[in-house]
Amino acid sequence: MSLKNKRVVVAGGTSGIGFAVAAASAGQGADVIIASRNAERVSAALKDLPPGTQGDTVDFTDEAQVKSWFAKIGAFDHLVYTAGETLQLGLLADTDVETARQAFEVRYWGAFKVIKHGHASIRQGGSIVLTTGIASLRPHKGWTVPSSTLGAMESLTRALAVELAPLRVNAVSPGIVRTPLWDNMTEADREAMYTRFAAVLPTGCIGEPEDIAQTYLYLMQERFSTGQIIVVDGGGVLI
């Protein structure tokens, strides 16, 4: 299976894992469409992606915008959802409920709306690939909000694989990866965290976006997996 001449839509494709998926897909000959609610990020990403890549500004929490976007772009082959805010970390007693609720808006409800309005435009043999994370499997203290959000994404993946069949729906569950997801930390704290995890992971290193992107490409190109959550974490769930 090849992505050559396929149309790949990456919701959240302006940075981190999403950008890496867009770049890798384009590298295999796909026509790529990226989208983000931040117009400046869309413009910046397009400068670094191959000519012909399409970029749109879309707020995935706004259902009307999502619906209009899919009406505009027409038929395509694969839908990838990587959009998400920085992680909301903190002890339960210190967590504002509204802040916790907002954490679901982009990562879960954004995906829900994108799939609701986009799945009918996916051509036969296409797929949806969502994004979760190993915090659903191995939460740490203070990870109540992200862990529960990611757990919801995994359940959504399995439910959609049943409801939307034969359209394939899968998800990638990364471990710690060097992405803007951690931008709410100071640079010193972030680098210290990377160093700490690299020292204990079986792989001896943390992930890079390009490492994780290969799993998305695999799930788009093969044709027999659905309802699956593929963990790509350097062995993080083992430690």
21 sits in which H/E element: helix 16-27
Contacts of 55 (CB under 8 A, 6+ apart): 14, 33, 34, 35, 42, 43, 45, 46
State residue 122's pLDDT score: 98
pLDDT in tens, the chain (239 residues): 789 999 999 999 999 999 999 999 999 999 999 999 999 999 999 999 999 999 999 999 999 999 999 999 999 999 999 997 767 777 878 888 888 888 888 899 999 999 999 999 999 999 999 999 998 888 888 788 888 999 999 999 999 999 999 999 999 999 989 988 777 778 888 889 899 999 999 999 999 999 999 999 999 999 999 999 999 999 999 88
3-state secondary structure of 129: strand
State residue 49's pLDDT score: 96
State residue 139's pLDDT score: 81
Q: CA-CA distance, 179 to 17, in Å (whole number)?
A: 7
How many other C-beta atoms can be found within 10 angstroms of the C-beta atom of residue 39? 12
**Residue for token digits 């439910």?**
159
State residue 187's pLDDT score: 83
CA angle 102, 71, 157 (to 5 degrees): 45
- Is the preceding omega at residue 209 within 30 degrees of 0, hence cis? no
State residue 73's pLDDT score: 96
Contacts of 4 (CB under 8 A, 6+ apart): 28, 29, 30
Question: Which stretches of the chain are assigned E, i.e. beta strand?
Answer: 7-11, 31-36, 54-57, 76-81, 122-131, 168-174, 229-232
State residue 42's pLDDT score: 96
Indicate the class that CATH gives domain 7-238: alpha beta
User: Domain residues of the chain, as ranges?
Assistant: 7-238
